[in-house]
């Protein structure tokens, strides 16, 4: 073996070994964070933060179906009991009355600290008179028979005020003592996890815990029923499982398909094995590059990896078919290949690299990784094919002659070329289709990238509506240095929002300060309470004209006296009530700062139904509350974010296209040739886009990336048709057919994936790459007929 060959193989082995080591020690993740953009501005960061671990992200909505009502209720209670001690959960609620009673006791006990009508005015004579008269009037109702027991202790109606505020949101229906769906055929529970929705491992543990607890409940109750769960955490777990499954699946299937293809073509196992060397090298290089360039390798990147197989295997196909066929036709020897064919391949490789490089600066981590992976992979595969693979080939290595295949293809191509004028028609038709569909062409929702199945998303919507669980679309975030400052800020913002509620600009809002007022506010309320002597004298005057004796109100006087000196409320006193969980989700510590979160509720009816005018809210906040508050419309914000990244993807694609054109101009030095190379690619992209539009597909980010790849990958084929070198056209065509088939297979497999990101990419590139080959063939300049081959007997002598 020549020393140069040995050196090449040794270097390759060393690099491959290092890469393998990096790959083995890399960290892998398969979650949705690949699809959440890195966000530069503060409010975008806040938005993404909310999406990843905001309030709503910690909710798991649980539904029990099957059996009958009472059984479901028993199961609901059993499930709640089983989950109560689990560390994964902060709270599990099922509407059970015990909790409701604890809640009411808490509210009643602390009503003078919690009620917003406890003001100095309330406890003046006039104020007392008005409040008590009101309470008496309200007794004349069926509820009066129930609430009249409270009157001696709470004649000013503080309890009802508090309840009115807290019960503003419609509560879930109850039946048999637990929450049920609107139509009553599901028992519902709400679980709040300790960990954020973005901590997929913790969410997985929570989901597993619920599953186990339910199984135990079924056993204990001797019942048969079904469990359903939804929520952001559940979705993250589901997404991860799907991505993992898809990635393994796809890798295996594409590999198997391509192996089969190559086996059919080469009919030789050594050829197959050697042909895979660039593929393996490319994959190793790609993963190692991503592992080095990013902290974590995303599962979706590996999913895309299947496509790299289709690309990388092309190079060895070109090498084998075009330079190692036996018998060896003229101009098809290794040296000729190196000198005349390799430059074309190199140019094709560079255009691919340009295409992938444009993904690197993307704000979507998933896309940036795909770019780096493919870039490194293609470079490695190409270089290995050029420098290492020939060194590895044993002397006398050859594959069977594929000239017959090539000649058949040439004949077909020759006939088809006569119809090339039809291509112009196709271009016009495609353009027309795209123009007709221009309104519904783009899918502008971030949710379109979600791998969570539609059925689950719909179930989530239904359960949320039934439970009154917030979807949290509109949110005000108040940041402050201390917990008390955050609560005080929430109170100021609440006061600014109250007029908006009265005008029905918003239906209502939730605030942590309603569950735990700031210490300052509590103190102010305490100070509004008069001393017993003062209160008694004012009461005596206030009750004039009312059918109530002051002697009856002794409990009231005692309660007020106690409240005056009672310790102020802190988080600790809320434990055991459902308010603790609510407070935990609305008052959080993030990055050393305190955040108070105020979800806004859109009006259910009226001219502004289900929409909130964010600008109006901002105006109200600006004038009334000088507080560091940000108003977020999470859905619109997320979609807008996605929109900017869609625009970014289009921009980068155009830049990449420009770079490719410049590259081609520099290499080919003739505008006509460049046009001949670009035209079939442009046509392929146009036709693919029109085809997708015709099928009703709305284009996402990944379709745009796919179109870029059509150009990058298709350029390899177009360049082959361009070359003026007189390589045997038959063999070249055969090799192109096989290479193209490998690519189409690899991307085609993606098109069958249920993960939208992979599916979109596959369904764009598979047809597009095929079309690129066909169009390139049709548009190629007619070759001068091959001169009769000189006598050439393989030993290098001319006859």
Partner 1 sequence: MALFARRKHGEVTFTESDSFALLNRPLKSSGVLIYDAPDHLVKRTLSPKKETLDLDHGRITLRRERRQWHLELSAYPQIVPYVDALRATLAGDRAALRRMFTVELAGGLANWTLELRPIEPRVEKTLRLIRIAGARDDIRSVLILQRNGDRSLMRLGPPPPP
Which residues sit at the interface with partner 1, rule CB under 8 A?
95, 97, 100, 134, 136-146, 148, 151-152, 163-164, 167-168, 170-171, 173-177, 502, 547-549, 552
CA-CA-CA-CA dihedral for 301, 304, 307, 313, to nearest 10 = 20
CB nearer to partner 1: give 128 or 384.
128
CA angle 540, 542, 546 (to 5 degrees): 100
CB nearer to partner 1: give 17 or 70.
70
CB nearer to partner 1: give 24 or 609.
609
CB within 8 A of 317, min separation 6: which ones?
A: 262, 265, 275, 735, 738, 739, 742
- Can you tell me the distance from the alpha carbon of 667 to that of 121, in angstroms, rounded to the nearest whole number? 86
- Quote the least distance from Cβ 552 to partner 1, whole Å: 6
Residue 42: helix, strand or coil by DSSP? Answer: helix
CB nearer to partner 1: give 70 or 327.
70
Residue 182: helix, strand or coil by DSSP? Answer: coil
H or E element that contains 633:
strand 629-633
Q: Cis link prior to 327 (omega < 30° from 0)?
A: yes
**Is there a contact between 736 and 773 (Cβ–Cβ < 8 Å)?**
yes
Short-list 583, 628, 606, CA closest to 502: 606
CB nearer to partner 1: give 140 or 572.
140
Q: Cis link prior to 562 (omega < 30° from 0)?
A: no
CB nearer to partner 1: give 138 or 228.
138
- Quote the least distance from Cβ 93 to partner 1, whole Å: 14
CB nearer to partner 1: give 368 or 507.
507
- Quote the least distance from Cβ 370 to partner 1, whole Å: 50
CB nearer to partner 1: give 139 or 425.
139
- Can you tell me the distance from the alpha carbon of 283 to that of 294, in angstroms, rounded to the nearest whole number? 16
Residue 118: helix, strand or coil by DSSP? Answer: coil
User: DSSP per residue over 763-781, as a string?
Assistant: HHHHHHHHHHHHHHHHHSP
CB nearer to partner 1: give 156 or 369.
156
30: exposed, middle or buried (Cβ count in 10 Å: 0-12, 13-18, 19+) = buried
- Quote the least distance from Cβ 148 to partner 1, whole Å: 6
- Quote the least distance from Cβ 522 to partner 1, whole Å: 23
- Quote the least distance from Cβ 127 to partner 1, whole Å: 17
Q: How far out from the chain centre does Cα 363 lie? A: 13
CA angle 432, 434, 436 (to 5 degrees): 70
- Can you tell me the distance from the alpha carbon of 471 to that of 459, in angstroms, rounded to the nearest whole number? 13
CB nearer to partner 1: give 165 or 536.
165
- Quote the least distance from Cβ 751 to partner 1, whole Å: 49
CB nearer to partner 1: give 137 or 725.
137
- Can you tell me the distance from the alpha carbon of 306 to that of 750, in angstroms, rounded to the nearest whole number? 8
**Is there a contact between 39 and 307 (Cβ–Cβ < 8 Å)?**
no
**Is there a contact between 778 and 420 (Cβ–Cβ < 8 Å)?**
yes
- Quote the least distance from Cβ 642 to partner 1, whole Å: 37
- Can you tell me the distance from the alpha carbon of 117 to that of 696, in angstroms, rounded to the nearest whole number? 57
CB within 8 A of 37, min separation 6: which ones?
A: 48, 363, 364, 641, 642, 645
CB within 8 A of 188, min separation 6: which ones?
A: 61, 62, 63, 64, 76, 94, 95, 172, 178, 179, 180, 181, 463, 466, 467
CB nearer to partner 1: give 5 or 168.
168
**Strand 297-298 and strand 28-29: pairing?**
parallel
What does the DSSP 8-state code read for residue 566? S
- Quote the least distance from Cβ 70 to partner 1, whole Å: 12
**What b/e string do you get for 768-780 counting C-beta neighbours within 10 Å, with b at 16 or more?**
bbbbbbbbbbbbb
- Quote the least distance from Cβ 183 to partner 1, whole Å: 11
- Quote the least distance from Cβ 176 to partner 1, whole Å: 8
CB nearer to partner 1: give 502 or 615.
502
CB nearer to partner 1: give 71 or 369.
71
- Quote the least distance from Cβ 145 to partner 1, whole Å: 6
- Can you tell me the distance from the alpha carbon of 518 to that of 262, in angstroms, rounded to the nearest whole number? 73
CB nearer to partner 1: give 170 or 572.
170
CB nearer to partner 1: give 100 or 679.
100
**Is there a contact between 632 and 474 (Cβ–Cβ < 8 Å)?**
yes
H or E element that contains 279:
helix 277-293
- Can you tell me the distance from the alpha carbon of 71 to that of 638, in angstroms, rounded to the nearest whole number? 41
- Quote the least distance from Cβ 167 to partner 1, whole Å: 5
- Quote the least distance from Cβ 558 to partner 1, whole Å: 17
H or E element that contains 537:
helix 532-542
CB nearer to partner 1: give 230 or 511.
511
- Quote the least distance from Cβ 24 to partner 1, whole Å: 58
Short-list 782, 105, 103, 145, CA closest to 414: 782
- Quote the least distance from Cβ 118 to partner 1, whole Å: 17
Q: Which residue has the tokens 């993992």?
A: 244
- Quote the least distance from Cβ 508 to partner 1, whole Å: 10
- Can you tell me the distance from the alpha carbon of 439 to that of 449, in angstroms, rounded to the nearest whole number? 20
504: left (phi over 0), alpha (psi -120 to 50) or beta: left
318 is written with which tokens?
Answer: 């070109």
670 is written with which tokens?
Answer: 């003739």
- Quote the least distance from Cβ 490 to partner 1, whole Å: 22
CB nearer to partner 1: give 119 or 148.
148
**Is there a contact between 40 and 207 (Cβ–Cβ < 8 Å)?**
no
């Amino acid at each position: 073996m020549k020393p140069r060959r040995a050196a090449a193989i040794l270097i390759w082995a060393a690099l491959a070994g290092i890469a393998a080591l990096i790959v083995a020690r890399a960290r892998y993740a398969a979650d949705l964070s690949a699809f959440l953009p890195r966000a530069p501005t503060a409010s975008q960061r806040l938005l993404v933060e909310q999406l990843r671990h905001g309030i709503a992200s910690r909710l798991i909505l649980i539904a029990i179906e099957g059996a009958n009502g009472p059984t479901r209720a028993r199961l609901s209670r059993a499930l709640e009991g089983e989950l109560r001690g689990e560390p994964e959960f902060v709270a599990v609620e099922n509407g059970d009355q015990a909790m409701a009673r604890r809640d009411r006791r808490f509210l009643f006990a602390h009503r003078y600290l919690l009620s917003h009508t406890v003001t100095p005015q309330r406890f003046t004579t006039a104020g007392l008179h008005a409040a008590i008269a009101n309470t008496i009037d309200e007794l004349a109702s069926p509820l009066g028979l129930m609430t009249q027991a409270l009157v001696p202790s709470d004649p000013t109606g503080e309890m009802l005020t508090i309840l009115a505020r807290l019960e503003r949101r419609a509560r879930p229906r109850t039946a048999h003592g637990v929450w049920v769906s609107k139509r009553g055929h599901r028992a519902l529970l709400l679980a709040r996890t300790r960990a954020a929705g973005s901590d997929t491992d913790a969410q997985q543990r929570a989901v597993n815990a619920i599953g186990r607890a339910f199984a135990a409940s079924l056993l204990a109750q001797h019942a048969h029923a079904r469990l359903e769960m939804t929520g952001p955490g559940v979705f993250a777990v589901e997404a991860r499982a799907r991505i993992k499954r898809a990635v393994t699946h796809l890798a295996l299937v594409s590999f198997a398909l391509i192996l089969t293809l190559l086996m059919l073509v080469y009919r030789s196992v050594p050829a197959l094995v050697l042909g895979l060397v660039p593929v393996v090298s490319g994959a190793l290089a790609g993963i190692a590059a991503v592992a080095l360039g990013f902290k974590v390798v995303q599962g979706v990147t590996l999913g895309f990896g299947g496509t790299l197989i289709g690309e990388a295997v092309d190079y060895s196909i070109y090498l084998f078919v075009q330079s190692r066929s036996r018998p060896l036709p003229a101009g098809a020897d290794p040296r000729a290949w190196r000198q005349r064919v390799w430059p074309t391949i190199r140019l094709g490789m560079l255009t691919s690299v340009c295409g992938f490089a444009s993904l690197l600066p993307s704000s979507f981590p998933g896309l940036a990784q795909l770019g780096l992976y493919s870039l490194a992979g293609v470079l490695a595969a190409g270089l290995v094919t050029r420098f290492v693979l020939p060194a590895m080939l044993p002397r006398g290595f050859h594959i069977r002659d594929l000239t017959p295949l090539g000649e058949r293809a040439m004949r077909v191509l020759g006939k088809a070329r006569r119809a090339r004028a039809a291509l112009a028609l196709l271009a016009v038709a495609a353009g027309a289709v795209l123009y007709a569909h221009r309104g519904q062409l783009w899918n502008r929702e971030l949710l379109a990238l979600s791998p969570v199945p539609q059925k689950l998303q719909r179930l989530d919507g239904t359960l949320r509506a039934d439970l009154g669980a917030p979807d949290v679309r509109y949110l005000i975030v108040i940041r402050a240095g201390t917990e008390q400052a955050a609560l005080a800020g929430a109170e100021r913002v609440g006061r600014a929002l109250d007029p908006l509620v009265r005008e029905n600009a918003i239906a209502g809002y939730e605030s942590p300060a309603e569950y735990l007022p700031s210490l300052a506010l509590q103190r102010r309320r305490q100070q509004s309470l008069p001393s017993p002597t003062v209160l008694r004298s004012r009461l005596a005057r206030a009750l004039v004209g009312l059918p109530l004796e002051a002697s009856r109100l002794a409990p009231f006087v005692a309660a007020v006296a106690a409240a005056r000196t009672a310790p102020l409320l802190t988080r600790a006193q809320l434990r055991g009530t459902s308010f603790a969980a609510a407070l935990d989700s609305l008052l959080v510590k993030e990055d050393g700062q305190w955040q108070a979160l105020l979800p806004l509720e859109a009006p259910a009816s009226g001219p502004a139904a289900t929409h909130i005018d964010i600008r109006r809210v901002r105006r109200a906040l600006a004038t009334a509350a000088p507080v560091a508050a940000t108003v977020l419309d999470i859905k619109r914000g997320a979609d807008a974010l996605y929109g900017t990244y869609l625009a970014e993807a289009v921009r980068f694609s155009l830049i990449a296209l420009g770079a490719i054109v410049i590259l081609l101009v520099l290499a080919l030095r003739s505008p006509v040739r460049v046009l001949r190379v670009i035209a079939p690619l442009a046509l392929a992209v146009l036709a693919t886009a029109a085809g997708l539009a015709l099928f009703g597909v709305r284009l996402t980010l990944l379709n745009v990336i796919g179109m870029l790849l059509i150009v990058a990958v298709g350029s390899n084929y177009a360049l082959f048709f361009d070359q003026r070198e007189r390589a045997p056209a038959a063999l070249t065509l055969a090799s192109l057919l096989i290479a193209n088939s490998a690519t189409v297979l690899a991307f085609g497999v993606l098109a069958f994936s249920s993960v939208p990101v992979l599916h979109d990419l596959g369904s764009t590139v598979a047809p597009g790459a095929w079309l690129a080959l066909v169009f390139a063939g049709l548009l190629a300049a007619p070759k001068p007929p091959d001169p009769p081959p000189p006598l050439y007997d393989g030993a290098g002598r001319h006859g």
